[in-house]
Structure 1
Amino acid sequence: MTEPVQSLHIDIVSDVMCPWCLIGYRQLQQALVATGTAGEIRWHPFELNPDMPAEGQNLREHVAEKYGTTPEASAESRVRMTDIGAELGFAFRFSDDMRMHNTFNVHQLLHWADQHGRMHALKLAFFDAHFTDRRNLSDKAVLADVAGETGLERAEALAVLADQRFAGDVRDAESRWLKQGVRSVPAMIFKHRYLVSGAQGVENYTRILEQLAQMQD
């Protein structure tokens, strides 16, 4: 068996509104465990819907409007994602009134959390808040609540959102990834060099990790 890669750096460009980003991450995690690879994961911002209004939009209406998806196809897709999530130990709880949200504030809080060593925890908490608990991520108070639940200071989170102090940093980061050709998520970049797009499945991620280990050898 191939020796595992030590402290493999993995950049993940994603949006917490993207169910396949969560699925891809969970698949990658299983592959890391299966190969004994120590993954050093770093999250980066991407907005699926940067022009989304502050109040968000009904998920079914959004998918129909943006992709032309029929109600039947949309329902089938949600069932498929729910089943895949269950296999990966994650509970997708879609509902007819579920909404898509503008995530610019989410990304600003993630940038702030990174300064406190809590970005990864907050990212996963936002996935849970949106897909499992169906919390309103358009609401700044809810965002601050989630931050507080992960051990960050809720009052400071509200201050960060009030003065938008990291807006420029997030815009710059988003722009850098767009300039590097990232147009869809999840986008995973291994060792700062190898881009893999989409949720590839546990087996494919396992093969990728094994190939990287062989290249290191």
Structure 2
Amino acid sequence: MTSPTLYLDVWSDYVCPFCYLELPVIDQFQNAYGDAVEVRWHAFELRPEPTPPLEPDSDLLQQSWDSSVYPMAIDRGLLMRLPPVQPRSRKAFETAFFARESGRFDVVHRAIFKAFFEDGIDIGDTDALLDIAATCGIDPESLEEVLLGDELTDAVIEDEEFAQKLGVTGVPFVVLSRDGVGDQEPPPPIALRGAAPIEHFQAAVERLFPDGFPPGASGANLP
């Protein structure tokens, strides 16, 4: 395995449909470049306490799904349904962070998204999160002990404070960056806001690696 030379720092929220819609794009990008890319996921709660959650049956939410979410889901090959609940997501992040400690972050991360946007499961409910994690090979008793306390709360808040310093106000938010070469400083990181298409990722890579990426490659891996 080679060391990564490109980093994708992704801030997302499990209750944001556009964050789930960005997942296939990031997968396509990562599949194209393999070990040359490292994706690092970060927490960003759109509606933490005491911000009121969205009304799940509001006309505004239904209109947003009809006009934006459903068409993009079809285009990106995802089966999505407007969830019947609009929970808070802090415990879901803590669940994913707990899974990271045992190398199961990715499978739990995807399972939480799928449970909410495909099955309509309340991912703010601790019992639901325990069930999701158990199907992914996580010990539910150990996880429950963590979720009943605030052991991982600081990790979630740290991600969000870093995002605030970057000026992040919405998600998905992706920062592409690279290491410097020798004594040379790396070029400035590039931020992509919203559910950016694969073409925006490719354009960012071309700016970060004007001589080609991965370094030494003869051409782009993406179609």
TM band (smaller chain): 0.7 to 0.9
RCO greater where, 1 or 2, for CA within 8 Å and sep 6 or more?
1
* Partner of residue 146, structure 1: 132
* Partner of residue 47, structure 1: 45
CA contact (8 A) 1:35 1:206 kept: no
* Residue 153 to residue 206, structure 1, CA distance change in 2 (3 Å): same
CA contact (8 A) 1:52 1:101 kept: no
SS of equivalent residue, structure 2 residue 19: helix
Count of equivalent residues: 200
CA contact (8 A) 1:13 1:185 kept: yes
**Separation in structure 2 between the aligned mates of residue 30 and residue 83 of structure 1, nearest angstrom:** 19
CA contact (8 A) 1:35 1:210 kept: no
* Partner of residue 201, structure 1: 197
Query: What is the TM-score normalised by the length of structure 1?
Result: 0.80
| Identity within the alignment, % | 25
Cα displacement (A) at 1:35 = 6.4
Q: Deviations over 1:130-165 (max 9, x none)?
A: 000100112101011111111111111111111221
More helix by share: 1
* Partner of residue 17, structure 2: 19
Q: Which runs of 5+ in 1 are unaligned?
A: 62-70
1:91 to 79, 103, 110: 79
Query: What is the TM-score normalised by the length of structure 2?
Result: 0.78
* Residue 75 to residue 169, structure 1, CA distance change in 2 (3 Å): closer
Cα displacement (A) at 1:17 = 0.5
Amino acid at match of 2:204: I
Q: Deviations over 1:97-121 (max 9, x none)?
A: x221111111111221111112222
Matched, 1:59 2:47: no
* Partner of residue 8, structure 1: 6
**Separation in structure 2 between the aligned mates of residue 106 and residue 215 of structure 1, nearest angstrom:** 40
